[in-house]
Structure 1
């Protein structure tokens, strides 16, 4: 398994679960970024739950933060990140829409969000390698 995914799932399975999707992703890369897990959690705290208002998914915003911190700023690559996630979810990128669609299928929120985190991390690592 991908080392970043493993770290993220460790974070998501902490009890109590206190990290949102963006925090989980940024914390999974914290050591490589030269920041503490606590600083990563603070920097990304307001991006979970779609920036706390159901807007862009925290896995996406967390991924964009990591890509930027790793020096990936090419607009084509950044757009590819967002577009590929949207393509995997019927064009949806907003937390509220993604969670509603998941609920309509009878899905469990944590399982859905963990999947979004995995998807974002795998894509981050793929894009970083290609840069």
Structure 2
């Protein structure tokens, strides 16, 4: 789903940052129904919110989980907290960190940028979304 879309080069020609690739791509594959104005919300999360903090691919993924699995506000249930924790723990287990700076140091390349970092976030997100949508149906 999302991982395959990104593997196929989604967002490269548009020069999307890591958070944008996840949110724009998820909007397409998960049919989120977000318009251009809503998609712009991801812009400031790239590069670990510009200070190499939490990876933008992960913050973009959390936006997707929120859109899909929060009815109105987060405090209605603990579902979003559990899903976010699962996403971040799974990602950190596989990649060794969730912060942009060490991820860039370990995985960024001049020719491919943060492609591997983004793919791993998409993969983790796909797993959670597929499972949770099956539970809902």
* Coarse TM-score class (shorter-chain normalised): 0.7 to 0.9
Runs of 4+, deviation exceeding 4 Å: none
Pair 1:51–1:109, CA change in 2 (3 A): farther
Partners of 1:41 and 1:77 lie apart in 2 by: 21
What TM-score does the superposition give when structure 1 sets the normalisation length? 0.79
Please state whether the residue corresponding to 1:13 is helix, strand or coil: coil
Return the offset for 1:87.
Answer: 1.0
Partners of 2:45 and 2:110 lie apart in 1 by: 17
Q: Which residue does 1:59 correspond to in 2?
A: 57
Q: Which runs of 5+ in 1 are unaligned?
A: none
Q: Which runs of 5+ in 2 are unaligned?
A: 71-78, 133-137
Pair 1:101–1:115, CA change in 2 (3 A): closer
Match of 1:84 among 66, 82, 90: 90
Return the offset for 1:13.
Answer: 2.6
Partners of 1:110 and 1:49 lie apart in 2 by: 17
What TM-score does the superposition give when structure 2 sets the normalisation length? 0.76
Return the offset for 1:116.
Answer: 1.8
- Aligned alpha-carbon RMSD (Å): 2.1
Return the offset for 1:69.
Answer: 0.6
Q: Which residue does 2:32 correspond to in 1?
A: 33
Aligned pairs, number: 121
